[in-house]
Amino acid sequence: MLVMKFGGTSVGSPEAMKQAASVVGKMKSRYEKVIVVTSAMAGVTNRLIAAAKAAESGDLSTYQEAQKELLALHMSVVEKLITDEYEQATLAQWFKDRLDELGRLCQSIAVLGELTPRGLDVVSGLGERMSAPLLAGVLRSMDIDAKQVDATRLIVTDNSFGNASPIMDTTCEKCRQVLVPMLESGTVPVVTGFIGATKEGIPTTLGRGGSDYSASVIGACLDADEIQIWTDVNGVMTANPSVVPGARTLPRLSFTEAAELAYFGAKVLHPKTMLPAVEKEIPVRVLNTFDPDGPNTLISKDGATDGSVKAITAIKDMSLINVEGKGMIGVPGIAARTFGTVAKHGISVLMISQASSEQSICFVIPSESGRLAVKALEEEFARELARRQIDRVEIMENVVVVAVVGAGMRGTPGIAARLFGALGEHGLNVIAIAQGSSEANISLVVTKEDADETVRRIHEAFDLSGTESGVSATSANRI
Ligand code: ASP
Ligand code: MG
């Protein structure tokens, strides 16, 4: 059994939707049982959220505009791809009903002058509740037996509105009850991504980009053979192709490698969203809807053990904070207090490095929290600063973290030498370094100006465009 998830751009226009539907048709002939999970059409969720926020401040024109444009957007697909008049009328009515619902919700938000997370979830989930019936209709117009399924019937979550977590055992029970009979009769269920409901039936969402999560939850519940994430790029690349022209698709990645890449800002699946699949060891494949026979990436438990460095990613707009002082040597608790203070302000720390001399602790946080962190640390260490046990709390803004990822780095000697050798040779200055204990990643801090060049030089040093550490383009995955 196969779960196929389509992202917003894959269903974002009549052409895209047609392409997505033909990919489903192709897979249906290969796998007997296919479940489709879809995102809202590209841009729709943002429009809905903007309408709700505008309503909160009393602006009703934004939702009215959205109603018109979203009706036109969805109807453009119906008009181009669906000829059956009954289907056309049914879908038109369905969209109108959902958009009326948007109107009623926005009016109540405006009356209350308050947009609660609970209210926002109802509004932002409307996009999937329109795209799923639409895609099901398009599939039927191509003679594929398909039926929309509202995930509020399947995915039972806690009540963390805006970022709900599925309760797996009840969810799995419902998935089996609802989806298995459909699959057995040859129907393709087209499930709304992103949304769920509490056990009381109150609608929730799984967080932005949550449709991947929906797919992995459903795949895990039904023990799918594979979960396919259909997007608009050829899987996961060795580096950002707009920075490194020779970047290529990685045919295989392990779950750990994919998680490291995602953590450092690569456009891979969010680790949380993969978790249900990881637990069941279900392979996840990332493919391009617009190049279905092109290269793709298979993420699985073992990945590939070949190669050392697999991919390089850069995360921008970071600040490096440095707590420094000779008097820190041997003073217990400085590190704990440093990170305790940062955590108290809800600032997430991306990487940490401490010199073994203990004269400084440095760490990287998002730029927007930089000044706040410095102020908080100066307050926390006011006494130590006065006594000169700590000399200063410094900030370096606009730095970039470059993460070099590959599970094969573990136990491969000479990686660091090759890495830093290449950078030294080209006069690229590394400000800080950290290696995770998993050894699947080495991260470096460089200036914004050096970032792209650093990525390119590392890519070159490990010959990631070539065949040495990976698989050549000709033997890349084909599905
Ligand atoms: N439509 C939702 C969003 O834009 C969920 C998704 O696309 O995965 O966040
Ligand atoms: Mg999306």
pLDDT one-digit tens code per residue, 324-375: 998 887 778 898 999 999 999 999 899 998 766 668 899 999 999 999 999 9
Q: What percent of the chain has pLDDT over 70?
A: 95
Whether 155 and 38 share a structural domain: yes
332 and 199 within one domain: no
Question: Average pLDDT, stretch 429-434?
Answer: 92
Q: CA 104 from chain center: how many Å?
A: 31
Query: What does the pLDDT read at residue 473?
Result: 43
Residue 474: pLDDT band (50, 70, 90) is very low
pLDDT score recorded for residue 306: 63
Distances from the Cα of 188 to the Cαs of 35, 178, 223, in angstroms? 6, 12, 16
Domain assignment present for residue 247? The answer is: no
Q: What is the pLDDT of residues 379-405, one digit of tens each?
A: 999 999 999 999 999 999 999 999 999
328 DSSP assignment: G
Task: Write out pLDDT tens, residues 155-196.
Answer: 999 999 999 999 999 999 999 999 999 999 999 999 999 999
Positive or negative, the CA dihedral 182, 183, 189, 194 is positive
Domain boundary among 232, 267, 301: 232
Look at strands 351-354 and 441-447 and give their pairing. unpaired
* Shared-domain flag, residues 333 and 420: yes
CATH number reported for the structural domain that contains residue 367 in this entry:
3.30.2130.10
Q: Domain check: are 8 and 149 in the same one?
A: yes
What is the rounded average pLDDT of the residues 52-74?
A: 98
How does the average pLDDT of the chain come out, rounded? 93
Q: Strands 284-288, 226-231: parallel, antiparallel or unpaired by DSSP? A: parallel
Instruction: Let me know if residue 289 belongs to a domain.
Output: no
Interhelix angle 117-124/44-56, nearest 10 degrees: 140
Residue 254 lies in a domain: no
Report how far Cα 409 is from the mean position of its chain's Cα atoms: 25
Is 189 within the bounds of a domain? yes
Specify whether 9 is located in the same domain as 96. Answer: yes
In the three-class reduction of DSSP (H, G, I as helix; E, B as strand; rest coil), residue 57 is classed as coil
Judgement on whether residues 12 and 108 belong to the same structural domain of the protein: yes
Is the pLDDT at 470 greater than 80? The verdict is: no
CB-ligand 1 contact for 45 (6 Å cutoff)? yes
pLDDT at 468 over 50: no
The answer to whether residues 228 and 340 belong to one domain is: no
> Which pLDDT does position 59 carry in this prediction?
97
Q: How confident is the model at residue 440 (pLDDT cuts 50, 70, 90)?
A: confident
More confident residue, 259 or 295: 295
Host H or E run for residue 338: helix 334-344
> Domain with 117 in it: what CATH number?
3.40.1160.10
Q: Which ligand is nearest to the CA of 127?
A: 1
pLDDT for res 385: 94
Look up residue 116 and give its two tokens.
Answer: 């609660």
Question: DSSP letter string over 399-445?
Answer: EEEEEEE-GGGTT-TTHHHHHHHHHHHTTPPP-EEEE-TTSSEEEEE
The phi-psi region of residue 235 (left if phi > 0; otherwise alpha if psi is between -120 and 50; otherwise beta) is left
475 within some domain: no
Ligand 1 atom with least separation from CA of 209: 8
Q: Is the CB of 103 under 6 A from ligand 1?
A: no
- Among the candidates 181, 213, 232, a domain finishes at 232
Q: Is 279 within a domain?
A: no
* Final residue in a domain of this structure, among 203, 232, 261: 232
* pLDDT of 303 higher than 80: no
Predicted pLDDT of residue 472: 43
Q: Report whether residue 12 contacts ligand 1, using a CB cutoff of 6 Å.
A: no
In degrees and rounded to multiples of 5, residue 156 shows phi and psi of -95, 125
pLDDT confidence bin for 478, thresholds 50/70/90: low
- What total number of domains does the chain contain? 2
Given a contact cutoff of 8 angstroms between Cβ atoms, the answer to whether 42 and 8 are in contact is yes
| 477 falls within a domain | no
Range of the domain at 147: 2-232
Q: What is the pLDDT of residue 479?
A: 64
Tell whether ligand 1 has an atom less than 6 A from the beta carbon of residue 39: yes
Beta pairing class for 311-324 and 203-205 = unpaired
Distance 39 CA to ligand 1 centre (A): 6
Whether the per-residue pLDDT at 475 is higher than 90: the answer is no
Do 176 and 47 share a structural domain? yes
C-beta of residue 244 within 8 angstroms of C-beta of residue 188 = no
**Residue whose CA is closest, atom 2 of ligand 1?**
209
The token pair at 140 is: 């039927």
Q: Are residues 316 and 436 in the same domain?
A: yes
Same domain, 218 and 329: no
Interval 206-265: pLDDT, tens: 999 999 999 999 999 999 999 999 999 999 999 999 999 999 999 999 998 998 888 887
User: Mutation test of ligand 1: which of 208, 213, 214, 218 has the most ligand atoms closer than 8 Å to its C-beta?
Assistant: 208
471 confidence band (pLDDT: 50, 70, 90)? very low
- Residue 211 Cα, ligand 2 centroid: separation in angstroms? 7
Do 170 and 318 have their domain in common?
no
Averaged over 444-451, what is the pLDDT?
96
Per-residue confidence (pLDDT) for residue 222, from 0 to 100: 98
227 strand-pairing partners: 3, 284
The mean pLDDT of 67-71, rounded to a whole number, is: 98
Q: Does residue 237 belong to any structural domain of this protein?
A: no
pLDDT score recorded for residue 467: 52
**Same structural domain for residues 34 and 137?**
yes
* Residue-level pLDDT at 332: 80
Residue 356: predicted pLDDT: 66
Pairwise CA distance, residues 378 & 446, whole Å: 25
